[in-house]
Amino acid sequence: MKMLKILRPIRPRTQIEASIIALTFLIVLGTVVYHWIEGWSWISSFYFSVCTLTTVGYGDFYPTTELSRLFTAFYALTGVTVALTTIWIVGATYLKKRDERLNRMTSNSQ
């Protein structure tokens, strides 16, 4: 009978890379979809995608078709979650590394 290998924890760098790739994918997806459905320029589509994912919502652009409104609802729910998770992972990794450096400095001075 084979024993199951214990899963190793995912390295922080891998988590950061995966979350940034997911966020980048969502921005590209939103840009392409808004360009295609709304007929906006590439820059305007990118701008709206980033504003939506960061919850800024200036109101200068907004979905005008039923299809783009439906897409935006799911895009915002998914995208905001991914964006917040990315920010959380990057922040947590930074704080962990900072604490490790402080602990090393404290232990070296004693």
Q: Closest by alpha carbon to 78, among 37, 49, 103?
A: 49
* Distance separating the N- and C-terminal Cα atoms of the chain: 50
Domain with residue 72: its CATH number is: 1.10.287.70
For residue 75, being part of any structural domain is answered with yes
Range in 6-20, 45-59, 67-81, 83-97 the model is least confident about:
6-20
For residue 38, being part of any structural domain is answered with yes
For residue 5, being part of any structural domain is answered with no
For residue 56, being part of any structural domain is answered with yes
For residue 57, being part of any structural domain is answered with yes
Q: How many domains does the chain have?
A: 1
pLDDT per position as a tens digit, 5-62: 655 667 877 889 999 999 999 999 999 999 999 999 999 999 999 999 999 989 999 9
For residue 7, being part of any structural domain is answered with no
For residue 89, being part of any structural domain is answered with yes
Q: What is the pTM of this model?
A: 0.80
What is the domain range of residue 40?
12-104
Q: At residue 110, does pLDDT exceed 70?
A: no
pLDDT confidence of residue 106: 85
Mean pLDDT of 58-87: 95
For residue 110, being part of any structural domain is answered with no
